[in-house]
Structure 1
Amino acid sequence: MTNRIILIIMVLALSSNTFSQKHIVSGFVKDIETKEPVQFANVWIEKTYMGVSTDINGYFSLEASIGDIINISSMGYNPTKIEVKKSNKNGINVYLQENITDLDEILVKPDIDYAKVLFKRIINNKKHNRNEIYSTHNYKNITNTTIYLAIDTASSIDRFVDNIDDIIVDTVNKNLRFLPIYLSEEANDVIDDKPNLVYSKKNGVFPKLNQTIESIILQYLVVDLNFYQNQLYIFDRGIVSPISDNALLYYNIYLNDSSFVDGNKLYNFSFSPKNKFAPLFTGHFSVYSNTYSLSEIEVYFKNEANINFVNGFKGKVSYKIQPNGKLFLNQQHLGINLSLLQDKDTTVIYGSQRIDDFSNGNWLLNKRTYYSTSEELEYVKARNWKYQTEFKSEEVNSKDYQHVEKIKKQPIVKAIDAIGGVVLTSYINTKLIDIGPVFDIYSTNAIEGNRFSVPVRTGENMFEFLTIGGFLGYGTKSNEFKYGANIGWQPFKKDKYIIHMSYDEDYTLISQDKFLRFIKKNPNAKGNGNFIAAVTTRERDPYLKEEKSIKLKFEYNADENFDLEVSPYFAQNYSTPIVRFVHNDIDYKSYQNYGALINLRLAF
């Protein structure tokens, strides 16, 4: 009898456990009218202490049994209940009805606004903390820069690219993959605040356009994330820092909570613009409780800020206490999601975090910089710094470099690179010889008629810091050959000093002669128009003089936006049927002139 009772109890217990088996119930809590997420709503199982709060997207997830009653409530809404059913396993949406009651005026006078008190202490200590952080003048850093292009797997790109699966980067989102466009790694040894490049590795799918990519697209990444400044200049705009002296005029500052990290107490804040349409940051930051200095700050731009082509932006800076007790930079991360078209997705409300919401055609730019003052790195080769614990960097995946090499071999990529290279540099590049400037190949004027030239120079594959060039031209009307030669030499690895020398016998437009000397890297040195002008012109320009000239040019390019050029020259000028040289009513067939031109450029 006793055995039967025990058996019955075990069966009942097993049955009870089976029917009360728990599973994860998840879903979203939303406003029934606006369909907007209800943040931080309370979600709990009735008659238990089991519960959670919804996140900023209104999402919740908790463990419950079939038949349990889940209560949902939030301030300003009528509470509601739902019963857990088997069908709930696929997720549920809970809608709350707003409950607003008009009250007489209520005056609330808190004894103290603790968030403002702490924020005032942050401001009062800001100057001291800033000086401490930037008092470290000797350190090392490594910077990783990447540009990826989002590709829709359903697009027709595979028609133009062979073996598309071998050159794109897989992601969790199988509908989108990424095409590496540009990769760069740099290591700097900073001594007395002056960076010394000790290691560099870079590659891009468009070799002839890499310089343009660096100067145009990567300018978006030239951002100084120094939040101790009152303003940060991003995309040519001055953005008020969330810890600026007058931040409370622009931002709502909230004290979230406090936490302990590595034995240090931190105060955690969040902030958002008072005017959501203003180009201001939204995000959060943490400060040390004893010094009120930043431990970490992360910022975004709201979608409503409406910055051209910027679909998403993220900036993050963290600081670390050094062995000497001083605070110094630890990491900086800048991420930008560029798009010519506005993305149509579900992140309209929380557009501040659109950096990770991308669609076909988006350009994803990332720049990560890691800092260290460790003396141990003195005994490690610069190319191996990224593997050391002092940095713990997210290195550029070596497979991505392999992807880039494969992409560069694609016929369509080679064609785009070649055309782009000609448009931007005016040279057609071969392995050893460059042909150009292309504007000099064909032109027209009244003296020579149709002018055909063969301009060439040595390429970088032949000499890296030396270029030798020249041209040979022929006019169909004058039946004359014209020619010239030039040489350029860069004595050092950096283009700080450059020496040029040239000699030519040719016709020159008198209307542009004195101006062309001041145009740096002019792709059309003769100023005679372009192919379209040469073909469509009705009247050919007769205002040319014949000139034999020799020129020297010494060029100095400083690091701080300062350029100086000194160019001595000697020229023998000859008259032409239309251009005469007259002095005291006497015609001269030729005259000589010499001098030196000085060109100074200061950039502010």
Structure 2
Amino acid sequence: MRLDRVILLSIFFLITWSASAQRTVVSGRVTDASTGDPIPFANVIFKDQSTGTTTDFEGYYKVEIGLKVDSVLCSYIGYKAKVKPIKYGQTQVVNFQLQEEVATLQEVVFIAGENPAYPILRNVVANKPINDKKSLNAYQYETYSKVEVDVDNITDRFKKKKFVKKITQVMDSVEQIAGEDGKPILPVFISETISQFYFRNNPELKHEKILKSKITGVGVEDGSLVSQFIGSSFQEYNFYQNWLNIVSKDFVSPIADGWKLYYDYDLLDSAMVGNDYCYRLDFYPKREQDLAFYGTMWITKNEYALKQIDATVTKTANLNYIEKIKIQQELTKTEAGAWIPTKNRILLDIGEITENMAGVLAKFYTSNQDIEVNKPFENKFYEKPIVVAEDFSIGNTDEFWESKRHEPLSPTEMSVYRMIDTLKNIPIVKTYTEIINIAVNGYKKFGKFDVGPYLSIYANNTIEGHRFQLGLRTNSDFSNRWIFGGFLAYGTRDDEFKYNGFVKRIMSRDRWTTIQAQYTHDIDQVGLSAEDLIGYSVFLTATKFGNLVRPYYYNQFKLIAQRELFKGYNQKITFNYRTFDPLYSFAYRTEPESMDSPLEREIQTAEVTIESRFAKDELFIQNENDRISLGANKWPIFTVRYTRGIAGIAGSDFSYNRMGVNIQKDLRLGLFGTSNFDISAEHIFETLPYPLLKAHIGNESTFFSQAAFNLMNFSEFASSTYASLRYNHYFEGFVLNRIPVMKKLKWRLVATANVLYGYLDTDNLNLLPEFDENGVEVQQIGRLTDDPYVELGYGVENIFKVLRVDFLHRLTYLDNPDASKFAVKFSFQFIL
């Protein structure tokens, strides 16, 4: 061989070997341009090559190749693909920020044969009893939780607002938070929490102990309240359950038992995910208005278990103000076979309520470690679902959190802490924070005292004229054991001062135990008593305006003691002394058996009430000196009440016995919506004047109220024995989502039914004379006969997102004076 050929051939092989030895290594992170959150499971490949990888749960990737390449491509479902140039033969960092792709959901069509995804899904459902974490006797783990709330959609128009201009200095650094290609966001809250979470089955019980919390936020003062919400208890989503409750709405899982009714599927790929060979399935709602997800999930080939899922709800769903809900989850198999989520990320994107407002992003992240299974504790251990350690805010040093975080903070998150510290000290921000706190809590805080509630500051009615009221109470800065408060009111027409004073002692927070004494002098109405409208503050406030129905002055002294004896069971004892001084024509016979007996107008009563309340799975949180119920989950709430009236105490006139019961329950019916019912019954054993009986709450206004019988007149009926049912059903989008023209409006059907059986003994009516001692005709009271009072209603809510219209029909007692057979009533509600 000629020497020149040998040399040329050698050079050729040298060049070829050199080229193959040069490897291009690219690593980086893929994030959402709108939120800054990482995008797990995204595809990253070299352009025009098959070599690539997927991002991990934190959005990181690393890929390398020995061939000559000049660019790398990143893509993921729901996002616009993006290409970036790279340098051949070098190790480099390339980050991607992907923009969401606004597109209608694709239609999935199979020409012949069965969809290949269907056998996989049938196996997933069949293996739920093995793979679902709730199949375990118990499990526990350490949880690291991180919550961030940001203001987004910050437009130039929003920046020009007067109050926004005053935070320009902070806004100038927004671009750094958003990132290279991202949209500007303004953080207002960030928190980190370390907790220990416990679950046991049969009975199903949960317990979470918040060990440490680090909280920084605009307007956040009491870390103990916030700490109860930022653990894992409120961020736990189990796709093995048929329905996931998010923002008080039920969303159907893509692996629900009835998956075929709600979703279409694509089997796109199979690949190794970690150590498991998995099928990749993309899923889409059959109707885009339904409360369902679209996204991608990975199902293991051997166990048919959910390995990873990325599920999104978009603004096409029948929700208000919600632009997007995204849940990303990574699961790990336990030694017992069931799979437990080890990483969760939830995004809640709330859109602009009006064009002049910005939006809000709420981002939640949890990581679970040190998982132990099938080691249940005694039931007593789980009595309190959420407990905050006394030293939860002590020792929150940077060194502590660096050692405890399951994942380190990103540079962006470290900047968030600094920005919030700056933002919350700006005077205009403090002012708006105070306004929001007043709107939510009803009180304005002044050091150790709260002034309010604002709903009661002013009223105008036929008895008092202009009524002005100012209330005051102490807060936890004054004492976390003693609470003092009261109000002073004045009416310009009756020239009468009204007042209230109370003192409350918290004896125990562990088993919530309180003692309270109060004295009140005020005005009230028969059938519209404030005590009967607790929990309906707006309707109660409305009753203070206009014409007062059967008004009376009263003096009342109450002594209340209550204690949670064990989880879910609360015992209360009340002593109540009350006077009745009517401001309308009223009198009663003091001797019912004699038609000529002396007449009286005023009434004094002294009574002792014993009340037992059982709510098996009711969840409470403690807010400073209050305990707030978040409702029960599966079980009804039962209340039994016995009252003994005692004559002779401080001039009290009557001895009597009354027994009552109440049952409340919310029913989640999945596809068909949500129902709730309230059943009440009571019996009074003695003969009493009707102000001491049950005067049923009517509603003569044009506004709908769940506290009243909406087609019943004020004080139309009273009963000594009664049973009532209030039933409400919310169809969500079940019907209207299926009507092409209506589904775009996002209206929702509602239905109501109010039924009342009541009885008023003739002896009770005989207590009322026709005329009083001055010859003035006495106002009588109506009663129910053998037929029940029935009203049915149907309507539409979510009109313009805030308006509800109810069409109501009264079916019985139509011959009563001024009875309305039909009415259209309105109400305003802020709902998702």
TM-score normalized by structure 2?
Answer: 0.49
**Match among 522, 538, 554 for residue 507 of structure 1:** 522
Superposed counterparts of 1:491-502, under 5 Å: 491-493=507-509, 496-502=512-518
Equivalents in 2 of 1:250, 1:442: separation in Å?
51
* 1:6-85 matches, cutoff 5 A: 55=75, 59=81, 61=83
Q: Is the 8 A contact 1:272 1:282 kept in 2?
A: yes
Matched, 1:362 2:359: yes
The residue number in structure 2 matching 1:548 is 555
Quick one: which of 473, 480, 483 aligns to 1:467?
483
1:271 corresponds in structure 2 to 283
The 2-side partners of 1:288 and 1:470 are apart by 62
1:252, 1:271 within 8 Å by CA — same for their partners in 2?
Answer: yes
SS where residue 226 of structure 1 aligns?
Answer: coil
Amino acid at match of 1:370: S
Counterpart in the other structure of 1:582: 588
- How far has the Cα of 1:400 moved from its partner? 3.5
Alignment match, 1:90: none
Indicate yes or no: 2:577 matched with 1:570. Answer: yes
Matched, 1:254 2:254: no
Aligned to 2:685: none
Q: Is the 8 A contact 1:509 1:527 kept in 2?
A: no
How far is the alpha carbon of 1:328 from its aligned partner? 2.3
One-letter amino acid matched to 1:582: Y
**Which of the residues 163, 169, 176 maps onto 1:163?**
169
Partner in structure 1 of residue 219 of structure 2: 206
Aligned to 1:172: 179
* Contact 1:330–1:372 (Cα < 8 Å) also in 2: yes
Say which of 595, 603, 617 aligns to 1:591: 603
- Matched-pair contact (CA < 8 Å) for 1:209–1:421: no
Match of 1:455 in 2: 471
Match for residue 335 of structure 1?
A: 347
Indicate the residue corresponding to 1:29 in structure 2. Answer: none
Aligned residues of 2:215 and 2:223 also touching (Cα < 8 A): no
Q: How does 1:217-256 map to 2 (within 5 A)?
A: 224-235=236-247, 237-256=249-268
Render the CA deviation track for 1:204-246: whole Å, top value 9, x for unaligned. 423599999999x99xx95752111233344555433222334
Partner of 1:125: 127
**Secondary structure in 2 matching 1:256:** strand
Q: Give the partner amino acid of 1:419.
A: I
Instruction: Summarize the Cα distance change of 1:465–1:447 in structure 2 as closer, same or farther, 3 Å threshold.
Output: same
* Aligned counterpart, 2:815: none
Which moved further from structure 2: 205-214 or 316-325?
205-214
TM superposition shift of 1:149 = 0.8
What are the Cα deviations for residues 405-438 of structure 1, in whole angstroms up to 9, with x where unaligned? 4433334333333333334433232112222334
Q: How do residues 83-102 of structure 1 correspond to structure 2 at under 5 angstroms?
A: none
Q: Whole-Å Cα distance in 2 between the matches of residues 573 and 259 of structure 1? A: 78
What residue in structure 2 maps to residue 416 of structure 1?
432
CA distance in 2, matches of 1:567, 1:281: 50
Q: 1:120 to 1:508 in 2, by over 3 A?
A: closer
**1:190 is the counterpart of 2:194:** no
Q: CA deviation at 1:113?
A: 7.2
Instruction: State whether residues 279 and 298 of structure 2, in contact with CA within 8 Å, keep that contact through their aligned partners in structure 1.
Output: yes
Q: 1:266 to 1:511 in 2, by over 3 A?
A: same
Match of 1:140 in 2: 142
Residue equivalent to 1:428: 444
**Structure 2 portions without partners, runs of 5+:** 16-42, 50-66, 88-109, 373-388, 591-596, 614-638, 640-662, 667-832
**Percent identity, aligned pairs only?**
19
Residues 530 and 540, structure 2, Cα contact 8 Å, conserved in 1: no
Separation in 1, partners of 2:340, 2:463: 69
The separation in 2 between residues aligned to 1:492 and 1:185, in whole angstroms, is: 28
> What aligned pairs does 1:328-407 form with structure 2 within 5 A after superposition?
328-340=340-352, 361-373=358-370, 387=402, 391-392=406-407, 397=413, 400-407=416-423
- Structure 2 CA distance for aligned equivalents of residues 177 and 441 of structure 1: 41
Q: Residue type matched to 1:519 in 2?
A: I
1:509–1:385 distance in 2 versus 1, CA, 3 Å: same
CA distance in 2, matches of 1:108, 1:386: 56
Q: Specify which structure has the bigger relative contact order, considering alpha-carbon pairs within 8 angstroms and separated by 6 or more residues.
A: 1
Q: 1:141 to 1:603 in 2, by over 3 A?
A: farther
Structure-2 separation of matches of 1:341 and 1:483: 40
Query: Distance between the aligned counterparts of 1:298 and 1:550, measured in 2?
Result: 58
In the alignment, residue 186 of structure 2 is paired with which amino acid? L
Q: SS at 2:363's partner residue?
A: strand
Q: Pick closer, same or farther for the CA change 1:594–1:543 going to 2, 3 Å.
A: same
Asked if the contact 1:132–1:327 (Cα under 8 Å) also holds between the matched residues in 2, the reply is: no
Q: Following the alignment from structure 1 to structure 2, what is the Cα–Cα distance between the partners of residues 295 and 560?
A: 36
Q: Pick from 150, 153, 156 the counterpart of residue 152 of structure 2.
A: 150
1:480-525 superposed Cα distances (whole Å, 9 cap, x missing partner)? 6554320123334479444332013x23223366343550495898
Letter in 2 for 1:484: N
Per-residue deviation, 1:293: 1.5
Q: Distance in 2 between matches of 1:486 and 1:523?
A: 23
Whole-angstrom distance in 1 between the partners of 2:132 and 2:365? 21
Contact 2:343 2:366 in 1 (8 A): yes
Structure 1 CA distance, aligned partners of 2:80 and 2:370? 43
Cα distance in 2, alignment partners of residues 511 and 166 from structure 1: 60
TM superposition shift of 1:53: 8.8
Task: Name the CA shift for 1:428/1:393 in 2 (closer, same or farther; >3 Å).
Answer: same
C-alpha distance in structure 1 between counterparts of 2:123 and 2:276, whole Å: 17
Question: Deviation digits for residues 1-28 of structure 1, max 9, x if unmatched?
Answer: x99xx9xxx9xxx9xxxxxxxxxxxxxx
- 3-state SS, counterpart of residue 185 of structure 2: strand
1:523/1:257 CA distance change after superposition, 3 Å: closer
Distance change >3 Å, CA 527–CA 460, structure 1 → 2 = farther
Q: Where in structure 1 are there 5+ consecutive unaligned residues?
A: 15-38, 66-106, 344-358
2:190–2:217: 8 Å Cα contact kept in structure 1? yes
Alpha-carbon contact 1:422-1:428 (below 8 Å) kept: yes
Give the AA of the match of 2:524.
Answer: L
Evaluate the alpha carbon distance shift between residue 166 and residue 490 of structure 1 in structure 2; reply closer, same or farther with a 3 A threshold. Answer: farther
On the 8 A contact 2:72/2:85 being kept in 1, the answer is no
8 A contact 2:264–2:283 mirrored in 1: yes
Q: Which amino acid aligns with 2:552?
A: K
Partner of 1:308: 320
Give, as a single letter, the amino acid of the residue that structure 1 aligns with 2:144.
Answer: I
Q: CA deviation at 1:451?
A: 5.2
Aligned-partner Cα distance in 2 for 1:238–1:413: 35
Determine if contact 2:270/2:277 at 8 Å carries over to the other structure.
yes
Q: Distance in 1 between matches of 2:143 and 2:422?
A: 30
Which residue identity does 1:241 align to in structure 2? S
Contact 2:132–2:339 under 8 Å retained in 1 = no
Task: Note the C-alpha offset of 1:570.
Answer: 1.0
Q: What is the DSSP-based 3-state SS (H/G/I as helix, E as strand, rest coil) of the residue aligned with 1:170?
A: helix
Aligned residues: 497
Counterpart Cα distance in 2 of 1:574 and 1:60: 78
Of 54-63 and 112-121, more deviation after overlay is shown by 54-63
Partner amino acid, structure 1, of 2:589? H
Which of structures 1 and 2 has the bigger CA Rg?
A: 1
* Equivalent residue letter for 1:467: I
| Cα separation, 2, equivalents of 1:108 and 1:455 | 71
